[in-house]
Structure 1
Amino acid sequence: MVILQNISYLHSNKDLLFDKITFTVNHHEKIALIGNNGVGKSTLLKIIAGELQPADGILKTNSKPYYLPQIFGQFNHLTIAQALQVEDKLNALQEILNGNVSEENLNTLNDDWTIEDRCNEALLYWQLQDLNLNQKLETLSGGQKTKVFLAGISIHEPELVLLDEPSNHLDISGRELLYNFIKSTSSTLIVVSHDRKLLNLLNPMCELSKHGITVYGGNYDFYAEQKLIENNALSQDIQSKEKALRKAKEKERETLERQNKLDSRGEKKQKKAGVSRIMMNTLRNNAENSTAKTKGVHAEKIGGISKDLQELRSSLPDIDQMKFGFDKTNLHKGKTLFTAIEINYSYENQPLWKKPLSFQILSGQRLALKGLNGSGKTTLIKIIMGELRPKAGTFQKADSKIIYIDQDYSLIENEITVYEQAQKFNSSGLQEHDIKMKLNKFLFSQNDWNKPCAALSGGEKMRLMLCCLTINNQAPDIIILDEPTNNLDIQNIEILTAAINEYTGTLIVVSHDVHFLEEIKIEDFIELN
């Protein structure tokens, strides 16, 4: 069991990340911790893991957590056995089996006679049987590193497991192994993920936001339904407030017009009646004071409604505040952009693909490249873009404008500002205020325009990339997306999905996120073996 009571956390600069977080995770429960980028999900996991200390509050756990972090570069200098914290036990077991039955070796092994068998079984399950436990992590791919730490769960058999984006670097077969593990394990799980297939295996959804944690008793599909109901209710509240604001302004106008007519009529009557100038001034002042008081009453009411409306609008999901409006490409649908006949590529005279590739890419087509890690997806992308030439076979490539967007959004230049980055795509000569209006539509306010791009999160870089594409006077003929959802939260994945679905050109995608591929209406696949 995990109990958090009034947990607060401050950044090193004393900025408050979250305040008074309270929730409980019961034994054998498998929960998802979700929320937008930057709300503190990974930080909260690190607090539960004991790697960070909260500024305030109480944390209680019944057992030591097993923590799988999101980034593994900090372990590159370690061997697999060291990273899994089994090296000493394995060495002690080997010493004992070789006849050195010392008290030190027995204490180190601590009666864990099955440690070697568990290591082998775990590596076999995660398809790592070809790895050596003495191999350095720096020699492994991102997917292999993830699998190594996942294997540690079976080796150590912890009661509590904390997983931070465990499917990020896994290919489709690796993800299936992860899904099966999550379904079958009896461990208590707390999982941070944007993988919606994985999230549907967990219950409940615990949404972290600036208001605290809200628990939704169900899987991700149930959560999405509830959020839709909440957002529809929010939209109705906004419409109701907008209507009330219009009525209040109309009432103010009518009241002031009526007041002005009455004052004007009264003044005419008083002149006819021969009222003295002093009395006329007194009556005029009284009328002006009365009008000012009426204006004040209405202004207060309008101000209150406007404030309520602003608060409601700020609660809208980002995707509902954004407008895309991509230009159409100049190419007619169905034009042949790339033809490959029996092509192959070689590294050190070894063919990359067992079976040469033959395919066509047409204008307006939506296709995905499928294959395990190391199957040559990046190489094929470089061939399609014209950066590499196949070593065998023939191909034809039509002139086309291609934009390649990788998971790190490398087209965004870290050393320049947000505004300067947008200006780089301004091939149509938009004025400064037009570019800033576009940036505002993509949720970059005046405070962000001079911010260096290096300071942007993955989701912010994605939004800036989309904004730049809409600033350009001509949409690309082909957009290639390489694992675009890896560093995005669910909300930003939905923003990306909405933008891509407005794009009418050719789309080529590398992604292991099956749900994302379905959402962007992928029709065809190129299978790599």
Structure 2
Amino acid sequence: MPTTLTSAVVLDRVTLAWPDGTVALNELSGAFGGGRTGLVGRNGSGKSTLLKLIAGTLAATSGSISTAGRVDLLPQQLTLDTSRSVADVLGIGATLDAVRAIERGDVDERHFDTVGDDWDVEARATAALATVGLPDGALDRRVGELSGGEAVLAALIGVQLRGADIALLDEPTNNLDRDARARVHELVRTWRGTLIVVSHDVALLEELDDTAEIYDNELSVFGGPYSEWKAWLDTEQAAAAQAETAARQLLKRERRDRAHVESAIGTRNAQGRKAAFERSAPRIVLGAKKRAAQVTAGRLRVEANEKVDAARSAVDTAGRRVRDDDTVRIDLPDPDVGTGRRIATIGDGERAWIIQGPERVALIGRNGAGKTTLLERLVASAAPAVGPISGQEAGEPPGSGLDTASIRRTARAEAHTDRVGYLSQRIDGLDEAASVLENIRAGAPGVGDVDLRNRLARFLIRGDTVLRPVAALSGGERFRVALARLLLADPPPHLLVLDEPTNNLDLDTVDQLVEALSAYRGAVLVVSHDDAFLRRVGPDLTLELSEGRMTEA
């Protein structure tokens, strides 16, 4: 179902090759409409790269990109100078300074040139920031005083205020808590102008008008939100699979009919030879019959071969419609955790909860509440050599307001097993200089390299990639290596600790992870702001951490 909106971005055979010769996109063509579009695709399909090409921060090797106006990009990895003011992040710092200078009595002409007609810039910016929960006075705050979620929201408001004709957002809800996600959803819901959003956030994708997909180096656009596109794709793939089955059955039948034709021709030839041997008719008559039989046989062979070729072509055509994707296949080993076994204790100064047997526990809370700190303390308790971990080391955003001393006084986490597997949202536990195989072998020293390679292949890590140093991997490859090291550990962990595991996964791999966790017979403790993912995991217990206190949610 194609979109009917006027094209705002047109791609004509766009190719991008990296300096080492690796092709990221190859003659990609297509168009984005003038409304709000969600862009989906597997990890590594080139979504972020395409946004950078449209924004002009990357230059295509060949092909062309035309856009209907100015383009503004909010990148996935937001690197903001913590000393900058929020006004500068919004792109209004110079204008705001000029307005304030004039208000103080400075009538320098350059101030008026800077302001132009934008006299209400402060009021508009303050009102816009208020819509995402930032208070009066936020314009003069430094980025370093904001939480990570507030910084993303401020940057997003900046894109909106700058008023580019085409806005590009790359994973805008990654690492945001529930409140911040809800505010991003509302901004996107009411966005005016062309908007292209790369996201794995299904709830966000539902707010958009169209769904575009990069698949097998082709761009297609569907006129509807993600759920409608997914339903259409599932129906189309079912029909394609049925068509392929029918085409294969027809090919089998045509081959059988061709064999019958050859058998019939052989029988006729044998009869003709027998008649000639017995001289059952004059030689001239027998010769005429032979020539006629040869002509008939040739015609029958041509017709039979044409039917087989047509059937084979139909199989090929139908088969190309059916997606035969490589998917991550996660098959978790049995950690042999009994239902009565105490795995960990988590709680605060007033109450504690025991994770027992193969329980699933979700830990939720606002950004800066100390969830990551708590997880790392839990992991450290299973391996004392890790040492103390501060809130900043745990990845809390600068200025988040995390009171590490408060976390130490109240929130508690202790492992009762030394077999704890931890997947950090920063993916920082890998040995950068070591190869992929060496990293995996460190977690499974008793497993042979051939077996390790076979297991890595299930995570789409194959061939010479296993010999490359981790430092040379892409972001998606690094995450799959970290996930593989966790899930392929031997002996398998009694407790899996997952910190925002869906941030770096495409939707198909999230499906695989959910299925694997459903079958896993160990305990799972997961931190996530992705409500859809948590519902699918089906936690037995959900705990909320706020200001060092823990409550059941």
TM-score normalised to the size of structure 1? 0.78
Answer whether contact 2:167 2:196 (CA < 8 A) is retained.
yes
Q: CA deviation at 1:369?
A: 1.0
1:403 equivalenced with 2:411 (yes/no): no
**Alignment deviations for residues 56-80 of structure 1 (CA, whole Å, 9 cap, x no partner):** 224031x323321212226446332
Distance change in 2, residues 1:128/1:7 (3 Å): farther
Cα deviation digits, residues 10-47 of structure 1 (max 9, x gap): 23425352314221412xx1111111222222222223
1:112 paired with 2:118, answer yes
8 Å contact kept, 2:54–2:65: no
2: CA distance, partners of 1:449 / 1:396: 35
Would the aligned equivalents of 2:86 and 2:142 in 1 still touch at CA under 8 Å? yes
2:498 alignment partner, SS class: strand
Change (3 A) 1:78 1:457: same
Q: Is 2:124 the partner of 1:129?
A: no
Distance, in Å, in 1 between the alignment partners of 2:469 and 2:322 is 25
Is 1:447 aligned to 2:469, yes or no?
Answer: no
1:353 equivalent in structure 2: none
Query: What SS is found at the alignment partner of 2:525?
Result: strand
Contact 1:365 1:507 in 2 (8 A): yes
Q: Which residue of 2 aligns with 1:378?
A: 372
Cα shift at 1:375? 0.9
1:438 matched to 2:483: no
Contact 1:32 1:202 in 2 (8 A): yes
Matched, 1:179 2:193: no
| Partner secondary structure for residue 129 of structure 1 | coil
Question: Taking structure 1 as reference, are residues 453 and 230 closer, same or farther at Cα in structure 2, changes over 3 Å only?
Answer: farther
Between the aligned partners of 1:40 and 1:7, the Cα distance in structure 2 is 14
Determine whether 1:318 maps to 2:305: no
More moved, 381-390 vs 244-253: 244-253
Q: What does residue 58 of structure 2 align with?
A: 52
Tell me the equivalent position of 2:47: 41
Per the alignment, do residues 494 and 454 of structure 1 end up closer, same or farther by CA in structure 2, a change over 3 Å counting?
farther
Q: Which of 33, 42, 52 is the matching residue for 1:25? A: 33
For 1:507-522, what aligned pairs fall within 5 Å after superposition? 507-522=524-539
Gaps of 5+ in 1: 255-296, 344-355
Alignment of 1:493-508 (within 5 A): 493-508=510-525
Q: Deviations over 1:156-200 (max 9, x none)?
A: 344432211111131100011111122223332111111000001
**CA distance 1:108–1:469, change in 2 (3 Å):** closer
Within 5 Å, which residues of 2 pair with 1:236-251?
236=242
Residues 18 and 40, structure 1, Cα contact 8 Å, conserved in 2: no
Which residue of structure 2 aligns with residue 368 of structure 1? 362
SS in 2 for 1:435: helix
8 A contact 2:337–2:521 mirrored in 1: no
Deviation of 1:233 after TM superposition, in Å, equals 4.4
C-alpha separation in 1, matches of 2:339 and 2:258: 55
* 1:41 and 1:192 in contact (8 A); partners too: yes
Give the Cα–Cα distance (whole angstroms) in 2 for the partners of residues 400 and 238 of structure 1.
51
Aligned residues: 479
Taking a change above 3 Å as real, the CA distance of residues 207 and 396 of structure 1, as seen in their structure-2 partners, is closer
2: distance between equivalents of 1:213 and 1:200? 19
**In 2, Cα distance between the equivalents of 1:222 and 1:495?**
21
Q: Give the deviation of 1:247 after TM superposition.
A: 9.7
Tell me the equivalent position of 2:156: 150
Q: Is it true that 1:4 corresponds to 2:10 in the alignment?
A: yes
Deviations 1:335-359 (A, max 9, x none): 332335642xxxxxxxxxxxx5532
Comparing 393-402 and 441-450, the one that deviates more:
393-402
Who is 1:429 aligned against? 447
Preserved contact between residue 330 and residue 513 of structure 2 (Cα < 8 Å): no
- 1:203-225 per-residue CA deviation (whole Å, 9 max, x = no partner) reads 21110133421112211111222
- Name the CA distance, whole Å, in 1 between partners of 2:466 and 2:115: 58
Per-residue CA deviation, residues 421-467 of structure 1 (Å, 9 max, x unaligned), is 2322334433x322222222332222322222223334333433444
**What is the SS of the residue equivalent to 2:463?**
coil
How big is each residue's C-alpha offset from its partner over 1:473-529, in whole Å with a ceiling of 9 and x where there is no partner?
432111111111212222332333233233221111111111111222223211112
* Paired letter, 2:500: E
Query: Structure 1, residues 349-407: CA drift from partner, whole Å, max 9, x if none?
Result: xxxxxxx5532222211121111111111222134332669435987752341111012
Q: Which residue of 1 aligns with 2:491?
A: 474
- Aligned counterpart, 1:277: none
User: Aligned partner of 2:454: which letter?
Assistant: M
Q: Which residue of 2 aligns with 1:79?
A: 85
> How large is the RMSD of aligned CA atoms in angstroms?
4.0
Distance 1:429 1:251 in 2: 53
SS in 1 for 2:49: helix
**Residues 90, 214 of structure 1: alpha-carbon distance in 2 compared, 3 angstrom cutoff:** same
CA separation of 1:467 and 1:238: change in aligned 2, threshold 3 A: farther
Give the letter aligned to residue 490 of structure 1.
L
For the Cα contact (< 8 Å) 1:462–1:496, is it kept in 2? Answer: no
Aligned partner of 1:391 in structure 2 is 409
**Higher mean C-alpha displacement, 458-467 vs 187-196:** 458-467
The CA distance in 1 between the partners of 2:83 and 2:65, in whole Å, is 34
The residue type equivalent to 2:31 in the other structure is F
Give the Å deviation of 1:147: 1.0
In 2, are the aligned partners of 1:337 and 1:400 still within 8 Å (CA)? no
**Equivalent-residue separation in structure 2 for 1:310 and 1:501 (angstroms):** 34
State the secondary structure of the residue aligned to 1:331: coil
Given that residues 15 and 27 in structure 2 are in contact (C-alpha distance below 8 angstroms), is that contact kept between their aligned partners in structure 1?
yes
Match of 2:432 among 414, 418, 423: 414
Q: Render the CA deviation track for 1:261-282: whole Å, top value 9, x for unaligned.
A: xxxxxxxxxxxxxxxxxxxxxx
Q: Give, in whole Å, the separation in 2 of the partners of 1:331 and 1:469.
A: 17
Letter in 1 for 2:545: L
Kindly state the Cα deviation for residue 313 of structure 1 after the two structures are TM-superposed: 11
Structure 2 unaligned spans of 5+: 1-6, 261-304, 389-406, 547-553
Equivalent residues of 1:179, 1:198 under 8 A apart: yes
Indicate which of 215, 221, 230 corresponds to 1:215: 221
SS at match of 2:214: strand
Amino acid at match of 1:526: L
Verify the 8 A CA contact 1:367 1:525 in the aligned structure 2.
yes
SS in 2 for 1:508: strand
Report whether the alignment pairs 1:490 with 2:496: no
Match of 2:478 in 1: 461
Structure 2 residue matching 1:528: 3-state secondary structure: strand
8 Å CA contact 2:444, 2:491 repeated in 1: no
User: Structure 1 residues 124-133 or 486-495, which shifts more?
Assistant: 124-133
For the 8 Å contact 1:476–1:505, the answer to whether it is kept is yes
Give the secondary-structure state (helix, strand or coil) at the position aligned to 2:493: coil
Percent identical: 29
Partners of 1:49 and 1:251 lie apart in 2 by: 58
- The structure-2 alpha-carbon separation of the partners of 1:18 and 1:495, relative to structure 1 and needing over 3 Å to count, comes to farther
Counterpart of 2:266 in structure 1 is none
